[in-house]
Amino acid sequence: MQGQISEPQTAEVLRLVAAATDEDSVSPLSEHVLLHLRHGGDTEARNLLLTDGGELAGYAHLDPTDPVEGPSGELVIHPAHRGHGLGLALTRALLAEAGPRPLRLWAHGDLPAATALASAVGFERVRALWTMRRPLQTPLGTPELAEGITIRTFRVGHDEDAWIAINRRAFAGHPEQGAWTRADLDLREQEPWFDPDGFFLAEREGRLAGFHWTKVHGSHPGAPAHGHEAIGEVYVVGVDPAEQGIGLGRALTLIGLRYLRSRGLPEVMLYVDEANTAAIRLYESLGFTQWDTDVMFRHP
Protein backbone atom coordinates (compact mmCIF):
# COMPACT_ATOMS: atom_id res chain seq x y z
CA MET A 1 0.00 0.00 0.00
CA GLN A 2 1.38 3.42 -0.92
CA GLY A 3 0.36 7.04 -1.45
CA GLN A 4 1.02 8.62 -4.82
CA ILE A 5 2.21 6.18 -7.47
CA SER A 6 4.68 6.72 -10.30
CA GLU A 7 3.78 7.51 -13.90
CA PRO A 8 4.74 4.00 -15.14
CA GLN A 9 2.63 2.45 -12.36
CA THR A 10 -0.29 4.73 -13.25
CA ALA A 11 -0.03 3.69 -16.90
CA GLU A 12 -0.12 0.02 -15.85
CA VAL A 13 -3.19 0.60 -13.69
CA LEU A 14 -5.00 2.42 -16.51
CA ARG A 15 -4.26 -0.46 -18.89
CA LEU A 16 -5.67 -2.88 -16.31
CA VAL A 17 -8.79 -0.70 -15.96
CA ALA A 18 -9.24 -0.66 -19.75
CA ALA A 19 -9.01 -4.48 -19.91
CA ALA A 20 -11.58 -4.86 -17.12
CA THR A 21 -13.89 -2.33 -18.76
CA ASP A 22 -13.77 -4.25 -22.05
CA GLU A 23 -14.49 -7.51 -20.23
CA ASP A 24 -17.31 -6.27 -17.96
CA SER A 25 -18.81 -3.46 -20.11
CA VAL A 26 -18.50 -1.08 -17.14
CA SER A 27 -15.57 0.81 -15.67
CA PRO A 28 -14.42 -0.75 -12.38
CA LEU A 29 -13.33 2.63 -10.99
CA SER A 30 -15.25 5.86 -10.44
CA GLU A 31 -14.41 9.13 -12.15
CA HIS A 32 -13.08 10.44 -8.84
CA VAL A 33 -10.43 7.70 -8.61
CA LEU A 34 -9.51 7.91 -12.30
CA LEU A 35 -9.01 11.67 -12.08
CA HIS A 36 -6.64 11.37 -9.19
CA LEU A 37 -4.75 8.59 -10.94
CA ARG A 38 -4.28 10.62 -14.12
CA HIS A 39 -3.31 13.81 -12.30
CA GLY A 40 -0.76 12.39 -9.88
CA GLY A 41 -2.92 10.93 -7.17
CA ASP A 42 -4.50 12.18 -3.96
CA THR A 43 -1.80 12.68 -1.34
CA GLU A 44 -4.05 11.28 1.39
CA ALA A 45 -5.30 8.29 -0.60
CA ARG A 46 -3.72 4.86 -0.54
CA ASN A 47 -3.05 2.69 -3.58
CA LEU A 48 -2.48 -1.06 -3.51
CA LEU A 49 -0.82 -2.77 -6.47
CA LEU A 50 -1.12 -6.56 -6.58
CA THR A 51 1.24 -8.49 -8.83
CA ASP A 52 1.05 -12.09 -10.02
CA GLY A 53 3.93 -13.65 -11.90
CA GLY A 54 5.56 -10.24 -12.36
CA GLU A 55 2.41 -8.74 -13.93
CA LEU A 56 0.03 -6.22 -12.43
CA ALA A 57 -2.98 -8.37 -11.56
CA GLY A 58 -5.00 -6.08 -9.33
CA TYR A 59 -5.40 -2.53 -8.09
CA ALA A 60 -7.22 -1.06 -5.11
CA HIS A 61 -7.80 2.54 -4.06
CA LEU A 62 -8.55 3.62 -0.48
CA ASP A 63 -9.84 7.08 0.38
CA PRO A 64 -9.58 7.53 4.16
CA THR A 65 -10.58 11.20 4.30
CA ASP A 66 -14.35 11.23 5.01
CA PRO A 67 -14.67 12.15 8.72
CA VAL A 68 -18.36 11.19 8.90
CA GLU A 69 -18.91 8.20 6.63
CA GLY A 70 -15.46 6.67 7.07
CA PRO A 71 -13.01 5.28 4.50
CA SER A 72 -14.15 4.09 1.07
CA GLY A 73 -12.49 1.82 -1.44
CA GLU A 74 -12.65 0.50 -5.00
CA LEU A 75 -10.78 -2.41 -6.55
CA VAL A 76 -10.30 -4.30 -9.79
CA ILE A 77 -8.69 -7.59 -10.82
CA HIS A 78 -7.36 -8.06 -14.36
CA PRO A 79 -9.64 -10.47 -16.29
CA ALA A 80 -6.68 -12.75 -17.03
CA HIS A 81 -5.99 -13.19 -13.31
CA ARG A 82 -9.49 -13.81 -12.02
CA GLY A 83 -10.64 -17.01 -10.34
CA HIS A 84 -7.53 -17.42 -8.16
CA GLY A 85 -8.58 -15.67 -4.97
CA LEU A 86 -6.81 -12.39 -5.74
CA GLY A 87 -9.98 -10.33 -5.26
CA LEU A 88 -10.39 -11.81 -1.80
CA ALA A 89 -6.76 -11.02 -0.93
CA LEU A 90 -7.06 -7.45 -2.22
CA THR A 91 -10.29 -6.84 -0.29
CA ARG A 92 -8.76 -8.12 2.94
CA ALA A 93 -5.74 -5.87 2.39
CA LEU A 94 -8.09 -2.87 2.03
CA LEU A 95 -9.83 -3.83 5.27
CA ALA A 96 -6.50 -4.04 7.07
CA GLU A 97 -5.42 -0.64 5.77
CA ALA A 98 -8.77 0.96 6.68
CA GLY A 99 -8.24 0.08 10.32
CA PRO A 100 -11.04 -0.10 12.89
CA ARG A 101 -13.47 2.21 11.07
CA PRO A 102 -16.14 0.56 8.85
CA LEU A 103 -14.96 0.35 5.24
CA ARG A 104 -17.34 1.24 2.39
CA LEU A 105 -16.70 -0.48 -0.93
CA TRP A 106 -18.11 0.60 -4.30
CA ALA A 107 -18.92 -2.04 -6.93
CA HIS A 108 -19.75 -0.65 -10.36
CA GLY A 109 -22.32 -2.38 -12.53
CA ASP A 110 -23.82 -4.60 -9.77
CA LEU A 111 -21.95 -7.60 -11.17
CA PRO A 112 -22.71 -10.98 -9.52
CA ALA A 113 -19.00 -11.66 -8.93
CA ALA A 114 -18.64 -8.40 -6.98
CA THR A 115 -21.68 -9.20 -4.84
CA ALA A 116 -20.33 -12.69 -4.12
CA LEU A 117 -16.92 -11.28 -3.16
CA ALA A 118 -18.44 -8.67 -0.85
CA SER A 119 -20.62 -11.28 0.84
CA ALA A 120 -17.67 -13.65 1.32
CA VAL A 121 -15.76 -10.99 3.28
CA GLY A 122 -18.75 -9.93 5.38
CA PHE A 123 -19.85 -6.74 3.60
CA GLU A 124 -23.51 -5.69 3.53
CA ARG A 125 -25.28 -3.80 0.72
CA VAL A 126 -26.15 -0.32 2.03
CA ARG A 127 -26.64 1.97 -0.96
CA ALA A 128 -27.28 1.93 -4.71
CA LEU A 129 -26.66 4.48 -7.44
CA TRP A 130 -28.78 4.16 -10.59
CA THR A 131 -27.64 4.89 -14.12
CA MET A 132 -30.58 6.19 -16.17
CA ARG A 133 -30.73 6.85 -19.92
CA ARG A 134 -32.99 8.30 -22.59
CA PRO A 135 -32.67 8.88 -26.35
CA LEU A 136 -32.27 12.47 -27.50
CA GLN A 137 -34.17 12.09 -30.76
CA THR A 138 -37.53 11.88 -28.97
CA PRO A 139 -39.33 15.16 -28.14
CA LEU A 140 -38.04 17.36 -25.33
CA GLY A 141 -40.20 19.78 -23.39
CA THR A 142 -39.75 23.55 -23.38
CA PRO A 143 -37.88 25.00 -20.36
CA GLU A 144 -40.07 27.31 -18.30
CA LEU A 145 -38.19 29.70 -16.02
CA ALA A 146 -39.70 31.47 -13.03
CA GLU A 147 -39.85 35.26 -13.10
CA GLY A 148 -36.51 36.86 -12.28
CA ILE A 149 -34.39 33.84 -13.29
CA THR A 150 -31.84 34.23 -16.08
CA ILE A 151 -29.50 31.66 -17.65
CA ARG A 152 -25.89 32.03 -18.72
CA THR A 153 -22.88 29.74 -19.13
CA PHE A 154 -19.94 29.18 -16.82
CA ARG A 155 -17.00 31.60 -17.01
CA VAL A 156 -13.65 29.97 -16.28
CA GLY A 157 -11.59 31.98 -13.83
CA HIS A 158 -14.64 33.84 -12.54
CA ASP A 159 -17.37 31.45 -11.34
CA GLU A 160 -15.42 28.75 -9.52
CA ASP A 161 -15.82 29.90 -5.91
CA ALA A 162 -19.48 30.87 -6.33
CA TRP A 163 -20.20 27.49 -7.90
CA ILE A 164 -18.44 25.60 -5.08
CA ALA A 165 -20.60 27.51 -2.58
CA ILE A 166 -23.92 26.73 -4.29
CA ASN A 167 -22.90 23.13 -4.90
CA ARG A 168 -22.34 22.72 -1.14
CA ARG A 169 -25.73 24.26 -0.37
CA ALA A 170 -27.54 22.17 -2.97
CA PHE A 171 -25.89 18.90 -1.87
CA ALA A 172 -25.47 19.52 1.86
CA GLY A 173 -26.73 16.02 2.64
CA HIS A 174 -24.84 14.22 -0.13
CA PRO A 175 -21.68 12.38 1.06
CA GLU A 176 -19.71 12.82 -2.18
CA GLN A 177 -21.03 15.75 -4.23
CA GLY A 178 -21.49 18.04 -1.23
CA ALA A 179 -17.86 17.56 -0.20
CA TRP A 180 -16.35 18.89 -3.45
CA THR A 181 -13.57 21.45 -3.05
CA ARG A 182 -12.05 23.98 -5.43
CA ALA A 183 -9.35 21.39 -6.19
CA ASP A 184 -12.01 18.92 -7.38
CA LEU A 185 -13.40 21.53 -9.76
CA ASP A 186 -9.93 22.53 -10.97
CA LEU A 187 -9.14 18.91 -11.84
CA ARG A 188 -12.21 18.67 -14.03
CA GLU A 189 -11.45 21.95 -15.78
CA GLN A 190 -8.23 20.28 -16.97
CA GLU A 191 -10.08 17.34 -18.53
CA PRO A 192 -10.47 17.26 -22.34
CA TRP A 193 -14.25 16.86 -22.01
CA PHE A 194 -14.68 20.07 -19.96
CA ASP A 195 -16.91 22.46 -21.90
CA PRO A 196 -18.01 25.76 -20.30
CA ASP A 197 -20.58 26.18 -23.11
CA GLY A 198 -22.38 23.15 -21.67
CA PHE A 199 -22.19 24.37 -18.05
CA PHE A 200 -25.38 26.36 -17.42
CA LEU A 201 -25.87 28.71 -14.47
CA ALA A 202 -29.21 30.12 -13.32
CA GLU A 203 -29.07 33.52 -11.63
CA ARG A 204 -31.42 35.75 -9.69
CA GLU A 205 -30.24 39.35 -9.32
CA GLY A 206 -26.62 38.31 -9.90
CA ARG A 207 -26.68 35.46 -7.37
CA LEU A 208 -26.43 31.81 -8.43
CA ALA A 209 -29.75 30.02 -8.00
CA GLY A 210 -28.97 26.71 -9.70
CA PHE A 211 -26.90 24.97 -12.36
CA HIS A 212 -26.75 22.14 -14.87
CA TRP A 213 -23.29 20.91 -15.80
CA THR A 214 -23.35 18.62 -18.84
CA LYS A 215 -20.66 16.26 -20.07
CA VAL A 216 -19.95 14.51 -23.36
CA HIS A 217 -18.19 11.16 -23.25
CA GLY A 218 -16.01 10.27 -26.22
CA SER A 219 -15.67 13.78 -27.65
CA HIS A 220 -14.01 17.17 -27.16
CA PRO A 221 -15.64 20.59 -26.73
CA GLY A 222 -16.74 22.14 -30.00
CA ALA A 223 -16.37 18.91 -31.99
CA PRO A 224 -19.31 17.04 -33.50
CA ALA A 225 -20.24 14.26 -31.09
CA HIS A 226 -21.41 11.63 -33.57
CA GLY A 227 -20.40 8.01 -33.12
CA HIS A 228 -21.37 4.95 -31.12
CA GLU A 229 -19.17 5.78 -28.14
CA ALA A 230 -20.27 9.39 -27.74
CA ILE A 231 -23.00 9.87 -25.16
CA GLY A 232 -24.15 12.92 -23.26
CA GLU A 233 -24.44 13.09 -19.50
CA VAL A 234 -26.50 15.13 -17.08
CA TYR A 235 -23.32 15.45 -15.04
CA VAL A 236 -24.80 17.33 -12.11
CA VAL A 237 -27.92 19.44 -11.58
CA GLY A 238 -28.24 21.50 -8.42
CA VAL A 239 -30.68 24.09 -7.09
CA ASP A 240 -30.14 26.42 -4.15
CA PRO A 241 -32.49 25.35 -1.31
CA ALA A 242 -33.94 28.89 -1.33
CA GLU A 243 -35.02 28.40 -4.97
CA GLN A 244 -36.61 24.97 -4.68
CA GLY A 245 -40.25 24.51 -5.59
CA ILE A 246 -40.27 26.81 -8.64
CA GLY A 247 -39.46 24.16 -11.27
CA LEU A 248 -35.88 25.33 -11.71
CA GLY A 249 -34.37 21.84 -11.63
CA ARG A 250 -36.66 20.67 -14.43
CA ALA A 251 -36.00 23.78 -16.52
CA LEU A 252 -32.22 23.48 -16.12
CA THR A 253 -32.32 19.78 -17.00
CA LEU A 254 -34.22 20.55 -20.22
CA ILE A 255 -31.80 23.34 -21.13
CA GLY A 256 -28.90 20.93 -20.81
CA LEU A 257 -30.66 18.16 -22.72
CA ARG A 258 -31.36 20.54 -25.61
CA TYR A 259 -27.69 21.54 -25.67
CA LEU A 260 -26.57 17.90 -25.77
CA ARG A 261 -29.01 17.22 -28.61
CA SER A 262 -27.55 20.19 -30.51
CA ARG A 263 -24.16 18.46 -30.30
CA GLY A 264 -25.55 15.60 -32.41
CA LEU A 265 -25.64 13.08 -29.56
CA PRO A 266 -28.02 10.12 -29.87
CA GLU A 267 -28.41 9.43 -26.14
CA VAL A 268 -27.94 10.91 -22.68
CA MET A 269 -27.28 9.32 -19.29
CA LEU A 270 -27.17 10.35 -15.64
CA TYR A 271 -26.48 8.98 -12.17
CA VAL A 272 -28.98 9.28 -9.33
CA ASP A 273 -29.09 7.84 -5.83
CA GLU A 274 -31.69 5.08 -5.54
CA ALA A 275 -33.00 6.72 -2.35
CA ASN A 276 -33.60 10.08 -4.09
CA THR A 277 -37.14 9.28 -5.16
CA ALA A 278 -38.00 12.92 -5.99
CA ALA A 279 -35.14 13.15 -8.49
CA ILE A 280 -36.00 9.75 -9.97
CA ARG A 281 -39.61 10.86 -10.50
CA LEU A 282 -38.38 14.02 -12.23
CA TYR A 283 -36.06 12.11 -14.54
CA GLU A 284 -38.72 9.50 -15.33
CA SER A 285 -41.13 12.31 -16.25
CA LEU A 286 -38.44 13.53 -18.68
CA GLY A 287 -38.23 10.12 -20.38
CA PHE A 288 -35.32 8.50 -18.51
CA THR A 289 -35.40 4.82 -17.55
CA GLN A 290 -33.06 2.78 -15.35
CA TRP A 291 -30.12 1.28 -17.24
CA ASP A 292 -27.64 -0.03 -14.64
CA THR A 293 -26.73 0.12 -10.94
CA ASP A 294 -23.62 0.80 -8.85
CA VAL A 295 -23.69 -0.65 -5.35
CA MET A 296 -22.02 0.39 -2.12
CA PHE A 297 -21.21 -2.28 0.44
CA ARG A 298 -20.14 -1.63 4.03
CA HIS A 299 -18.17 -3.81 6.39
CA PRO A 300 -19.43 -3.69 9.98
CATH architecture of 133-293: 3-Layer(aba) Sandwich (3.40)
Contact in structure between 133 and 291 (CB atoms under 8 Å): yes
Q: List, for residues 106-132, the tens digit of each pLDDT value.
A: 999 999 999 999 999 999 999 999 999
The domain segmentation of the chain, as residue ranges, is 7-122, 133-293
End-to-end CA, the chain: 22
* Fold adopted by 7-122: Aminopeptidase (3.40.630)
**How many whole angstroms separate alpha carbon 237 and alpha carbon 239?**
7
In angstroms, how far is CA 74 from the centroid of its own chain? 13
pLDDT one digit per residue (tens) for the chain, 300 residues: 566 788 899 999 999 999 999 999 999 999 989 988 888 666 788 999 999 989 999 999 999 877 778 899 999 999 999 999 999 999 999 999 998 889 999 999 999 999 999 999 999 999 999 999 999 999 999 999 999 999 999 999 999 999 999 999 999 988 788 889 999 999 999 999 999 999 999 999 999 999 999 999 975 554 444 444 689 999 999 999 999 999 999 999 999 999 999 999 999 999 999 999 999 999 999 999 999 999 999 998
Contact in structure between 260 and 214 (CB atoms under 8 Å): yes
Q: What is the reported pTM?
A: 0.87
Same fold, 7-122 and 133-293: yes
